[in-house]
A and B are shown apart, each in its own frame.
Chain A
C-alpha cells in the first residue's frame, strides 16, 4: 500500500495503537503507541501515553515515556514530558525534554504480539537491520534496565528467533 498511515489533526485515538509500518500522528492520541517502524509526532500532535518504536521523531508534544530501538529525535518544535530510553538521541536546538534520559542502551522492540502480520514484518526488518548494529552496546546497558535485548547476538549468528515470542520484558523496576 502506498498510503502513509496518518492520525489526522482533527482525530483523536483513545487506546492502544500497534503498527508495523510508519505512522504520522498529527492529531491526539491518549494511550500507548507500539511501533516496529518510524513514528512521527507532528507539530500539531499531542500524545499522552507511552511510546515504543524503532525510530521516533517528536515535533509535537509527548506526555509519557518514549523508548526507541534505534533513535529518538526531538525537533526544535518538539516537547517531551517523560523519560527517554534509546540507543541514540538527537535533541535539536529549541526542542525540550523534561525527564530522565538514557542513551546508548538496547531497547527491546515491540514484539508485535497483537498481530501476526505485525510480527512478521518486524522480524523481517530486524533480520536485515540488527546484525550490523548489535554488537556495540550490550554490556553497560544491563545496569539501566532488564529490557536488554538478549536475542541480538544470537539473532546475528542466524539461530532461530523462537525466544523472541516468549520473551516478555520483565518490568520489576519500571
Chain B
C-alpha cells in the first residue's frame, strides 16, 4: 500500500507533497497538496488550499485552485470553489463549482 490515506478524523494544517496517490477523507487546510499520482477527495474530505496532481477526483469540498496534468473530475455532491487548470474536466450532474476553467495546452 503505497498510497496515503488521511482519515475522517484527521486534520492537517500544512503541505502534503509526494509521488503516490493520496485519498483525503479528513481535512487539509492552509497549505498546498502536490502529489504526482491521483488525488481523491472523498465525500467527507475537505481541502482548503491549492491542489496539484495528475488526476483529481472531488466528491467532497475543495476551496482553492486545482491543477491536473491529466484530468479533474467533480463528482455528484462534490464542491469546488476555485480555478481549474486541466486538459480534461468532468463535472457531474449535482456537483457544485465556482471558478474559472482553463483547458488550454
Seen from chain A, the residues whose Cβ lies within 8 Å of a Cβ on chain B are: 1, 3-21, 23, 27, 31, 114-115, 117-118, 121
- Take A18-B10, A115-B9, A118-B9 as given contacts and tell me if A11 and B23 are in contact as well, using a CB distance cutoff of 8 Å: no
Q: Flag if B1 contacts A14 (CB, 8 Å).
A: no
CA distance A145 to B6 in the complex (A): 33
Specify which of B11, B15, B18 is in contact with A114 (CB 8 Å cutoff): B11
Chain A minimum-CB-distance residue to B9: A20
CA distance A117 to B104 in the complex (A): 41
Q: Flag if B10 contacts A21 (CB, 8 Å).
A: yes
Q: Flag if B4 contacts A19 (CB, 8 Å).
A: no
Contact with A along B1-39 (1 / 0, CB 8 A): 111111111111111111110110111001100010000
CA distance A15 to B10 in the complex (A): 13
Specify which of B3, B5, B11 is in contact with A118 (CB 8 Å cutoff): B11
Chain B minimum-CB-distance residue to A11: B18
CA distance A91 to B20 in the complex (A): 32
Specify which of B9, B12, B22, B27 is in contact with A21 (CB 8 Å cutoff): B9
CA distance A13 to B20 in the complex (A): 13
Give the chain A neighbours of B6 by CB distance below 8 A: 5
